[in-house]
A and B are shown apart, each in its own frame.
Chain A
Amino acid sequence: MTHPEFAADAAGGAGRIYQEAIKALANAATGHGALVAPDGRAFIDNPLCGDCVEMEVNVADSRIAALAHQVKGCLLCRAAASVIGKRAVGASPGEVEQISAEVSAMLEREAPPSAGWHELSAFAPVHGHRSRYDCVRLPFQALLAALRAAGERA
């Protein structure tokens, strides 16, 4: 059971993925909290590392009107949730899906993220640390699941 952190160390770059931009995003915890009456809610955890995200959304006119999240997890997961807290309000479910796919592409193939959510470029160094991809993706998966839950209620 080699811990991802140690594996990354062995690969010679654990420090790089914890750069200042990531730390600042994680500590800002933008969007942390809970909504009074969410239209959709989702809880997702990663059984391999224990990270978990609870995401709540309100939807109006097919766009995210408000969101709040509660994350227990590593720096990467908390930072990704923070970017969502900063950028996702106003986005449509389709746009979130698009961004989410871009995040996966950035992690797996170093594809540059699209303009708009420019904070996402802070996660580019995670490319190559395969075991950490899901840390970044988890909040996006939670947001998509929360949007689906809101869609089912509507």
Chain B
Amino acid sequence: MKWVLYERLRAATAAGTSCAVVTRLADGAQAFFDGERWEGAIDPAEAQRAAVRRMLVAGRSGMLPGEQDLFVRSYARAPRLIVVGAAHISQFLAPMATLAGFEVIVIDPRRAFASAERFPGVTLVDEWPDTALERLKPDVTTAVVTLTHDPKLDDPALIAALRSPAFYIGALGSTRTHAKRVTRLTEAGLGDKVARIHAPVGLDLGGRAPCEIAVSILSQVIQVRYRGEAA
């Protein structure tokens, strides 16, 4: 491995950013991918880059599917789920996602809701979502879900998430609510990115109770993690 790529790899893993190294078996040439940028001696085609990203999101290593010559080594941290909004649904989603192997962080500046009593054992952040996400830097193995019921808090979170390589972005709210949200985010200059948002959030399981919505969100996050957006 070239020294410069090793340094990139070391810096990314030290920063807690999931990344991957692609090796061409024929000549040992390598490329490094941190979820956003590519670097190195290989210049993979668009489809190959997308396939590497899918493997990294899923935390898988191995031969790149459909390729004879490209080996992918994923250096993926435990997937993170950043929940914006310490709402009822979050009270179910946080422990469920923790049990499912996610590192869960709940962000809500409304300290009355984001209390340790309501979220035992969960990492709570009481900064504003944009400030918190700037610090937490959602990477390619991070999912961001907004559940505050308040655009004042959801919008800055979604703007930060849309500017990140997060593999999943979901927003609570009806189709009508989401249409208004899309208008606002488009005005904020994110028109080309809003399609990344899953809204209404979660798989359509039919349940309406907060615990059931939590299951539907967690299911969709896991589905996108392994099956990609096309699923």
Residues of A within 8 A of B (CB): 1, 3, 5-6, 45, 47-50, 52, 72-74
| Cross-chain pair count, CB within 8 angstroms | 29
Known: A50-B108, A50-B152. A1 touches B128 (CB 8 A): no
**In the complex, which residues of chain A have a beta carbon less than 8 angstroms from the beta carbon of B149?**
3, 6
Question: What 4 new A-B contacts, CB under 8 Å, besides A3-B149, A72-B128, A74-B152?
Answer: A45-B109, A47-B110, A48-B112, A50-B110
B148 to chain A, nearest CB (A): 8
Q: Which residues of A contact B153 (CB under 8 A)?
A: 50
Nearest-CB residue, chain B, relative to A74: B152
The DSSP consensus for interface residues of chain A is loop
A45 to B112: give the CA distance in the assembly, Å.
Answer: 11
- Quick one: CB contact mask for B104-116 with A, threshold 8 Å, 1 for yes? 0000111111000
The residues in B between 130 and 176 inclusive whose CB is less than 8 angstroms from any CB of A are 149-150, 152-153
Query: Quick check: is B87 within 8 A (CB to CB) of the other chain?
Result: yes
Against A, the Cβ 8 Å flags (1 = close, 0 = not) of B83-97 are 000011000000000
Among candidates B87, B109, B113, B150, residue contacting A52 with C-beta atoms closer than 8 Å: B109
- Closest A residue to B152 by beta carbon equals A74
Overall SS of chain B's interface: loop
**A3 near B150: Cβ-Cβ < 8 Å:** yes
Select from chain A the residue with minimum beta-carbon distance to B153.
A50
- Chain B residues close to A by CB (< 8 Å): 87-88, 108-113, 128, 149-150, 152-153
Contacts of A45 in B (CB 8 A): 109, 111
CA A50 to CA B88, docked complex, whole Å = 17
Closest chain B CB from A34 CB (angstroms): 15
Contacts A5-B150, A74-B152 given; does A47 touch B112 at CB 8 Å: yes
Write out the residue numbers on chain A whose beta carbons fall within 8 Å of the beta carbon of B88: 1
**Given A50-B128, A52-B128, is A1 in contact with B113 using a C-beta cutoff of 8 Å?**
yes
CB distance from B114 to the nearest CB of A (A): 9
Contact B87 A1 (CB under 8 A): yes
Determine whether the beta carbon of A73 is less than 8 Å from that of B152.
yes
The 6 closest A-B pairs by CB, nearest first: A50-B109, A47-B111, A50-B110, A47-B112, A72-B128, A3-B149
By a CB distance below 8 angstroms, the chain B residues around A73 are: 152
| 14 A–B contacts, CB within 8 A, in A order | A1-B87, A1-B88, A1-B113, A3-B149, A3-B150, A45-B109, A47-B111, A47-B112, A49-B150, A50-B108, A50-B110, A50-B153, A52-B128, A74-B152
Of all chain A residues, the one with the shortest Cβ separation from B111 is A47
Query: Please, which residues of chain B bring their CB within 8 A of the CB of A72?
Result: 109, 128
Shortest CB-to-CB span from A59 to chain B, Å, is 29
- Write the chain B residue with the least CB distance to A72: B128
